[in-house]
Structure 1
Amino acid sequence: MYNFNSKMIVLSGIFIALIIIFTHVLAIQTLFLRISFGFLPLAVYASICGPLYGAFIGALADILGCLIFSPGFYFPGFTISTSLSGYIYGYYFHDKPVSLKRICIVFIFLFCSVDMLLNTFWLSLLYHKAATAFLLSRFIKNIIFLPINIIVFSVVYKAIQKYLQKNFVILNKKS
């Protein structure tokens, strides 16, 4: 069902690099908050390649990003979150009609489940503080960026879909 041919390896490498760059290089980060668009290459990759690829590449990009930019500071909880996000993006966007309504539902679901619950739980474990200490600042940041993320993904996804349909099929599973 899933074969990892040379096109997939190259595409995966490109998207791993994009995820790491968007998450670690082009990000604003404080101790408890990170403002980045690292979700974007992961969501696009998972929508093109599927949930299992999305989960795998999300986890791999998280591990590599931590090894490169934060040596000695790796927390596996965030790898679980990134992997789960990649799986969810792939599950709801891969080979399905992607409408604005579907995008909103998926991003709100991820906002509630992964961003607010799971990542806040990981931070409370990591810093040994109550989750309520992180909740308000994370909620404000995420509620501001939720519509921005939806709009950015919608625009980028439509542009990439149009490009792939017009020029070539990049992921021919049989070649």
Structure 2
Amino acid sequence: MPKVKKVVLAGLLLAILIVFERFISVETLLLRLSFAYVPCILIGTLLGPVWGAAIGVAGDLLGMLLMPKGPFFPGFTLNALLTGLVYGLFLYKTPSNKSYLIRLIISIFVVHIFIHLGLTTLWLSILYKKAFMVVIAGRIIANIVEIPIEIGSMFAIKIFLDKPVKKYLLEDSSGPWSDTEEDID
């Protein structure tokens, strides 16, 4: 993909990330439910781990500047960096729909277990001076509900975007969205 297309796509997905995370989300003191995972996963899939990490950090910092929803805490910026990095490492240049689905499941579990339940809970317990076990209790249920929703919706989005991505973003039919005989129909 040419650099101009990468920059334009990154900017578009960054804007969508900020809107989903800051404006279209349900948030309590210890929990946020949003569709911000969609642009995060798409960035990792289409642009790779470096772009995923950079856009994650940019989204967190710009979102804080535009619409802060609490005090700035650098741990959440680290989470955004790690989330983009994980999705990029697992999903970039995935050869088939079957391997994409397997990698998608693994990456979502890694993000939810280590970043959302681990690091985010740690940051919240430090920030709000609450016991880690108290904070994690409600977050476990939310993450159990979110995981299958994210897997199903992102795989459906990937299937839906296959043809437009190949037609408009890729120069040829190779890359992260290419079909092989292993595809799930």
Fold equivalence (TM over 0.5): yes
1:111 Cα shift?
1.2
Whichever residue aligns with residue 72 of structure 2, its letter is Y
Contact 2:94 / 2:100 at 8 angstroms: preserved in 1?
Answer: no
Aligned residue in 1 for 2:22: 24
Segment of structure 1 superposing worse, 9-18 or 60-69: 9-18
Which whole-Å CA distance do the structure 2 matches of 1:44 and 1:171 have between them?
A: 18
Alignment of 1:36-47 (within 5 A): 36-47=34-45
1:74 Cα shift?
1.3
Contact 1:78 / 1:122 at 8 angstroms: preserved in 2?
Answer: yes
Whichever residue aligns with residue 168 of structure 1, its letter is Y
> CA offsets, 1:67-122, max 9 Å, x none?
11117721111111111010110111101234322211111111111111011011
Q: Does residue 152 of structure 2 align to residue 154 of structure 1?
A: no
Aligned residue in 1 for 2:169: 169
1:30 Cα shift?
0.6
Contact 2:61 / 2:77 at 8 angstroms: preserved in 1?
Answer: yes
> CA offsets, 1:15-57, max 9 Å, x none?
1110011111110001111000101101101110000000000
Structure 1 gaps of 5+ residues are none
Q: 1:15 aligns with which of 13, 16, 27?
A: 13
Secondary structure, aligned partner of 2:124 = helix
Aligned residue in 2 for 1:139: 140
Which whole-Å CA distance do the structure 1 matches of 2:6 and 2:169 have between them?
A: 12
TM-score, reference length from structure 2: 0.85
**Residue 72 and residue 29 in structure 1: after superposition, are their counterparts in 2 closer, same or farther (change >3 A)?**
closer
Instruction: Report the RMSD for the aligned CA atoms in angstroms.
Output: 2.0
Which whole-Å CA distance do the structure 2 matches of 1:25 and 1:151 have between them?
A: 23
Which whole-Å CA distance do the structure 2 matches of 1:126 and 1:77 have between them?
A: 10
Whichever residue aligns with residue 11 of structure 2, its letter is G
Which whole-Å CA distance do the structure 1 matches of 2:54 and 2:132 have between them?
A: 28
Contact 1:23 / 1:36 at 8 angstroms: preserved in 2?
Answer: yes
Segment of structure 1 superposing worse, 55-64 or 106-115: 106-115
Contact 2:5 / 2:169 at 8 angstroms: preserved in 1?
Answer: no
Secondary structure, aligned partner of 2:147 = helix
> How many residues get paired?
169
1:14 Cα shift?
0.7
Whichever residue aligns with residue 17 of structure 1, its letter is A
Which whole-Å CA distance do the structure 2 matches of 1:36 and 1:104 have between them?
A: 19
Aligned residue in 1 for 2:123: 122
**Residue 170 and residue 67 in structure 1: after superposition, are their counterparts in 2 closer, same or farther (change >3 A)?**
farther
Moved over 6 A (4+): none
Structure 2 gaps of 5+ residues are 173-185
% identity of equivalent residues: 33
